[in-house]
Chain A
Amino acid sequence: MAKLVKTEDEVMLGDAARGFLGDAAPVSHLRGLRDGGATHDAGLWREMAAMGWAGVLVPEASGGSDMGHAAAGVLAGEMGRTLVASPFLSSAVIAATALKQVSSDRAATALAAIASGEATYALAIDEGRKFAPEATAMQAVADGNGFRLSGDKCFVIDGALADRLLVLARTGDGLTLFDLPADRAGITRSRTNQIDSRNSARLHFDRVEATGDDVLGQVDDAMAVLRPALEAGQAALAAEMTGLASGAFDMTIGYLKDRRQFGVPIGSFQALQHRAAHLWCEIEVTASAILHAGRKLDEDAGNATLAVSLAKARATSTAQLAVIEGVQMHGGIGMTDAFDMGFYMKRARVSAEWLGDYGYHAEQVARLRGF
C-alpha cells in the first residue's frame, strides 16, 4: 500500500484548499448563512466545482478530476476545519461513488452533472433515530413495469436542496436503491432545523412512481452499489470530523496562549497543558486512521470496511473530545453564540450520528476482528 504520508500532490491540494476556504468560507460564512436563514451558498459550490472538487471522484471521461478517496479526504478535512457548508459529501463523494458502480450512459451523464456542479444529490436512508440501512422499512411495491414508493425518510442531509435523491427501499427479496429527481410527484420535503445549521430534511413518499430506469444497480441488490458509496462517505466524513477537531484544537491552543488569568497565560497551567497534549495525541492517532482509510479505498476498495469503520469510530470520539475540551478550556466565552466554538460542537454532534455513530462502527470492527 502507498505510504501513510501525504504525497506532494495531496499536500499541495490541502494547502490550496486551506487558502481558498480561509478566504471564501471561514466559520463566519456559516454564521452568515445561519443568520440569513440559509443553509447553502450556490455560488461557493460553483467555485468549488470549478476547482475540480465536485468531480474529485468522477472519472476524467465524465469531466471529473478523478483524484481519489485519499484526496477527497484531504479536501473534506480542510472543509471540516472551517465548517464549510456544501453538498460535497452527499454529491461529490457518496452519490459519485454510487454512480461509479454502474456502467451505463445514464450514470456517466449523472456523474458529469455532479462534476460540473449542475446537479446535487442527497442520500435518503435513515428512517429512525439511528443509522441502520439493513433495517429499511420503506416499501417499493411492484406496479406494472415499475414500482411505487411509500414511506418516510429522516435525517436526509442536504435533502432540502438536492436536485436528486438516492432512496433506499425494500423490494420483493431485498433492498433496492433508486435514483430519483427530488421533484418527482408524490415526494414531500420538509426542511428541518438542525443544530449545525446545515441542510437536512424529512421526506414523505406517497405512492411515488419509479421505473426500472430509476433503479441504480440491480433490483434487490442495493448493497452492491450502496456499500462502496457509504464507505466512501464514512471515510470522507471521518476526514471532515478530524479537520473539525484540528480547527477546534487550533482555536483552543491559541486561546491558551493569549488568555491571561492570575497574571499569566492560562496555557502555562499544567492542568490545561496535559489535557491539550492528550487531545493533540488523539488527533494525531486519528489522522493515521483517516489517511489509511483513504489509501485503502483507493487501492483495495473491496476490503476497506475495517479501515473505514476504524476511521469513523476514531474520528467520532476525537471530534467529540476536541469540542468538549474546546468549550471547557475557553470557559464562559466558549458558551456564547458570538464565539465560534459552539458551531464546532454542534457540527461534531451531527457528524457523530451521520452514517453510523461510534457504536455502529465499533461493532463493525468487532465483527471483523473476531469478537
Chain B
Amino acid sequence: MADDLQTYRSELRDWLAANCPDGMRDGQNGEAAICWGGKNWTFTSDAQRQWLENAASRGLTVPTWPKAYGGAGLDRAREKIFHEELTRINARWPLQSFGIWMLGPALLHFGTEEQKRHYLPPIARGEIRWCQGYSEPGAGSDLASLQTRAEDKGDHWLVNGQKVWTSYADQADWIFALVRTDREAPKHKGISFILIDMASEGVTTRPIRLISGASPFCETFFDNVKVPKTQVVGEINRGWDVAKYLLTHERQMISASGQAMFAGRALGAVLGDNQDASLRAAALKCEVDALAVGLTLERYKDMAEAGTGVGDASAMLKYMGTELNKARHEVLMSAGGSDALEWDGKAGSQAADWLRTKANSIEGGTSEVMLSIISRRVLGLPG
C-alpha cells in the first residue's frame, strides 16, 4: 500500500515535470490567476491552455471523479499526494469552476447515467462553464421562498423569473437553477433543480458592480425560456434535496479556498519588520486559528472518507473559514498601511481582495444562517 503510493507519487512527479508548463508554476492561485474555461474563455497564455489540456487528458482537472466521466478516479490518499505535488512545484490549479465544485458533485449523486455522461466530461475538459442560479431579489437567506417558476408545458418547461448574485453569469455557458414547479406545495416541497442553456432565447444577464470594483455577480432574467424535460436533476419538486447537498459542497469549497491562501504564506512574513504589538497579536491569532481550521478541514475529509457523515457540520467549516479569511485580510490591510489604499480597481490588488472577502460570509449562506443551521440541526436547540 505504502509502496503503491510511493510509486504513484514518483510517477506523478515525473508527469508533472514534463507536463506542467513553467509559466503555470508561479504559485498564483488568486482570482486573477484562475482558469475558468468555457466557450467564452480567453486563455491568458499558451501555458495556461497547455496546462489545462495536459491535465484534462489525465483526468486531473477533477482528480476524484470516475474515469468514465472525465476524472482520474483518485482515492483520498492519492488526491492528497496530487495536491502535495502541485504545492511542491508551486503549480496553479489547471481549472477551477462551479461545474467542478458544485454541479459535478450534485450530478454524481443525483444525476441519471445519461446526464452524467452528457454533462460531466465537458466540465472536466473546461469546455462548458456553469453558473449558479439560486438567490432572488426576495429570496436571500430565506432561499426556499424563491419565486422563479417553471410551468409544465407538456414537452418542455417554461421558465419565468429573476435570479440575482449569479456569479459570472455573463461568462457562463449554462446555469443550474432552482425553480418553483409547484406553487401550492409548502415552500421547500415545490422546488426543482433545473439545467438551462444560457444561449436559450429569453435569457439575459446584467453585471452588478461591487464595492471591490469587480463585477463577478450578475442579475439573470428568464423571460418565457423553453427548457427540455430531460434537464431536471433529481425528482420533480425534490430540488431542495439537491440544493442542500450542493450547498454542503459549496460551503466546503469556500472554506477550502480560503484555506489554500493560508497554506502558502504565513502572516509573519507579511508583517516584516512591523513592530506594532496589537497588529502582531491579531496576526498571530489569525495564524493559530488558520492552522487549526486547516487541520479541521483535513479531519473532516478523513471523516467523510471513513464514512462518518459530516452533513450539517460543514456549516462550521464555512462559518469559521470565511470569518477567518475576513480577519486575515483586515490584518493584511493594516500591515499594508497607506500603501494598501491605492488600487486600480481590478481584482488582485490588496484592497480589492480585502473588499471581496466581505462577501465570503454572505454568499453560500450567511454566517448567521450557518450558526442557525448548527444550533438547530447539530445542537438540537428548539426552532
Contacts and interface: CB of A to CB of B under 8 A. Distances in A.
B83 interface: no
A370 interface: yes
Contact of B271 (A253, A306, A371): A371
Contacts of B199: none
B142 interface: no
B382 A257 contact: yes
A276 B379 contact: yes
Interface string A270-287: 100110111011001111
A270 B288 CA distance: 29
B266 A4 contact: no
A160 interface: no
A292 interface: yes
A365 interface: yes
A276 B67 CA distance: 43
Contacts of A370: 266, 268-269
B22 interface: no
A366 B287 contact: yes
Interface in A238-271: 253, 256-257, 264-265, 267-268, 270
B268 to A, nearest CB: 3
A362 B374 contact: no
B356 interface: no
B337 interface: no
B316 A369 contact: no
B44 interface: no
Name A's interface SS.
helix
A94 B100 CA distance: 48
B316 A371 contact: no
B319 A314 contact: no
Given A268-B383, A310-B291, A371-B266, A277 B371 contact: yes
Contact of A5 (B293, B308, B372): B308
B295 A371 contact: no
Interface in B278-305: 280, 283-285, 287-289, 291-293, 295-296, 298-299, 302-303, 305
B251 to A, nearest CB: 13
Interface in A350-365: 362-363, 365
A284 B381 contact: no
Nearest to B296: A288
B319 A281 contact: yes
B266 A273 contact: no
A154 interface: no
B285 A3 contact: no
Contact of B288 (A257, A264, A268, A362): A362
B292 A273 contact: no
B378 A371 contact: no
A253 B381 contact: yes
How many chain A residues sit at the interface, stated as a range, is 35 or more
B201 interface: no
A277 B296 contact: no
Contacts of B284: 362-363, 365-366, 371
B75 interface: no
A291 interface: yes
Nearest to B304: A5
B320 interface: yes
Nearest to B380: A257
Interface in B113-171: none
A5 B76 CA distance: 14
A289 B316 CA distance: 15
A313 interface: yes
B375 interface: yes
B316 A281 contact: yes
A362 B379 contact: no
B84 interface: no
B302 A285 contact: no
Contact of B295 (A253, A288, A363): A288
Nearest to A282: B320
A310 B292 contact: yes
| Interface-centre pick from B283, B287, B288, B368 (highest chain A CB count, 10 A) | B288
Contacts of A264: 382
B16 interface: no
B313 interface: yes
A273 B306 CA distance: 30
A289 B294 CA distance: 9
Contacts of A288: 292, 295-296, 298-299
Nearest to A369: B266
A276 B288 contact: no
A256 B376 CA distance: 12
A369 B287 contact: yes
Nearest to B370: A277
24 contacts: A3-B302, A4-B298, A5-B303, A5-B306, A253-B381, A265-B382, A267-B382, A273-B375, A274-B368, A274-B372, A276-B379, A277-B375, A278-B319, A280-B379, A281-B320, A285-B293, A286-B292, A310-B291, A362-B284, A362-B288, A365-B287, A370-B269, A371-B271, A371-B287
Interface of B: 266-269, 271, 280, 283-285, 287-289, 291-293, 295-296, 298-299, 302-303, 305-306, 308, 313, 316, 319-320, 368, 370-372, 374-376, 378-383
